[in-house]
A and B are shown apart, each in its own frame.
Chain A
């Protein structure tokens, strides 16, 4: 129990772990969808506190990781155009496109800026009427309301030199795609807390019913995750498959109604390609017809550049929970956070980066042990 003393309330953490052990009678595999939860699980060693056979499968809920190569290349093409101020959240800077990343374009003199909020990008557009300001609108349902409001404001305030490069993705269709995969081992889900803060929980009963899996809405802090796992195991052990909200302090069943109304106005559902996974039908948003003039892809006529992912990188299998990061031959060798082959090694929410940062020594020792065994 080496990790328990790092919890904000070690006593409570210990009790939750004890209860999980007490109710567990057989192996279970559950997926935490959200990359923020993956990071927290590995950082705090939560998976190592669980009973033998209770496995956390790390899901594709890291928008940085699943943004397709094609969109990254479009971002890079736009950011290199003269007169453009290209704004992004900081975690997109080092995601590898087919040949470079936003960070290297900035180093080569491109005007790439990191903003805290998309409204900061709109402010830049207002202050620089002679420049084209583009915001890289990635993210799940949590981030989409911010980007929607920014486009809405651009239209309302008549700011013509602002546009959005949109690559929004949705969680429930991805969960369905994971369950539909023939290789699926997922028996339950921890659902992403802040996605549900915005969207509520009405989309999940259909999933619990169709796939007979428990879904427990969970927060991000270590104690929240332990509580989510505890409730999930109890459901699994009793043969139930229901929706439960273990994060009620931040999630209501109906969600945030004004945010959802704004999303319906500004975006419409579309098919989206997920990096490493492929096309998932109706799994993302694009700008609706009413806001089409703010679409950066159309405004800059960026051509599609189709490139293959690194042949060495197995991030697609990692994102689907089919392999663990250290089971990829390139992990920690050709692929490190300093020189990432795939997006899962870039973002702090990517499973590969979390394993590298917090588990590297364990696996080096592990691989050395294997080496000794095989001699």
Chain B
């Protein structure tokens, strides 16, 4: 629940007065709110929890963590289909 995944900021734009960014998580792109790390630059890494950047991260740590998460299947758990996952846990084919 408190998992946060490192991602690289690809682009930044203002939406209704809020800083939003396209962030790449090892090949998967998500829209992320940067309001809490306002001075982040394109190309920097941030750790993201439920669509919000909560801290910066250096590139090496970010890449190491992403590789670990990829190997452990954590990225799929974080970004996959919630209903499919719940159905699988409940042992129901869907």
Collect the chain B residues with CB atoms within 8 Å of residue A153's CB.
16, 18
Are B61 and A249 in contact (CB-based, < 8 A)? Answer: yes
Give the complex CA separation of A222 and B82 in angstroms.
25
Chain A residue at minimal CB-CB distance from B60: A249
Of A36, A114, A250, the most chain B CB neighbours within 10 A belong to: A250
Residues of A within 8 A of B (CB): 8, 34-36, 61-64, 89-91, 93-94, 103, 106, 114, 116-120, 139-140, 142-143, 145-146, 149, 153, 156-157, 192-195, 197-198, 220-221, 249-252, 256, 258-259, 262, 337-338, 346-349
Number of interface residues of B (CB under 8 A): 39
Query: B77: CB under 8 A from chain A?
Result: yes
Collect the chain B residues with CB atoms within 8 Å of residue A346's CB.
89
Are B3 and A36 in contact (CB-based, < 8 A)? Answer: yes
Collect the chain B residues with CB atoms within 8 Å of residue A103's CB.
83, 86-87, 90
Secondary structure at chain A's binding surface: helix, strand, loop or mixed?
mixed
Given A142-B2, A149-B52, A256-B55, the answer on whether A119 and B90 have CB atoms closer than 8 Å is no
Are A8 and B33 in contact (CB-based, < 8 A)? Answer: no
Secondary structure at chain B's binding surface: helix, strand, loop or mixed?
mixed
Collect the chain A residues with CB atoms within 8 Å of residue B71's CB.
8
Closest beta carbon of chain A to B50's beta carbon, Å:
5
Collect the chain B residues with CB atoms within 8 Å of residue A118's CB.
50-51
Closest beta carbon of chain B to A111's beta carbon, Å:
13
Contact with A along B1-42 (1 / 0, CB 8 A): 111100000000000111000000000001001011110000
Closest beta carbon of chain B to A261's beta carbon, Å:
9
Given A114-B82, A149-B33, the answer on whether A142 and B4 have CB atoms closer than 8 Å is yes
Chain B residue at minimal CB-CB distance from A347: B1
Collect the chain B residues with CB atoms within 8 Å of residue A36's CB.
1-3
Chain A residue at minimal CB-CB distance from B68: A8
Query: B54: CB under 8 A from chain A?
Result: yes
Collect the chain B residues with CB atoms within 8 Å of residue A117's CB.
33, 50-52
Give the complex CA separation of A337 and B88 in angstroms.
10
Contact with A along B62-73 (1 / 0, CB 8 A): 001101100100
* B36 touches which of A145, A194, A221, A338 (Cβ 8 Å): A145
Given A93-B82, A338-B90, A348-B77, the answer on whether A140 and B51 have CB atoms closer than 8 Å is no
Collect the chain A residues with CB atoms within 8 Å of residue B47's CB.
194, 197, 250
- Given A34-B2, A143-B49, A338-B89, 5 more A-B residue pairs with CB atoms under 8 Å apart are A91-B1, A119-B51, A120-B51, A251-B55, A258-B38
**Selected A-B contacts with CB under 8 Å, 28 pairs:** A8-B71, A35-B1, A61-B2, A94-B90, A103-B83, A103-B87, A114-B83, A116-B50, A116-B51, A117-B52, A119-B51, A139-B2, A142-B2, A143-B50, A145-B36, A145-B52, A146-B49, A149-B18, A197-B4, A197-B47, A249-B57, A249-B58, A250-B55, A258-B35, A259-B36, A262-B35, A337-B89, A349-B1
Give the complex CA separation of A214 and B65 in angstroms.
27
Are A142 and B83 in contact (CB-based, < 8 A)? Answer: no
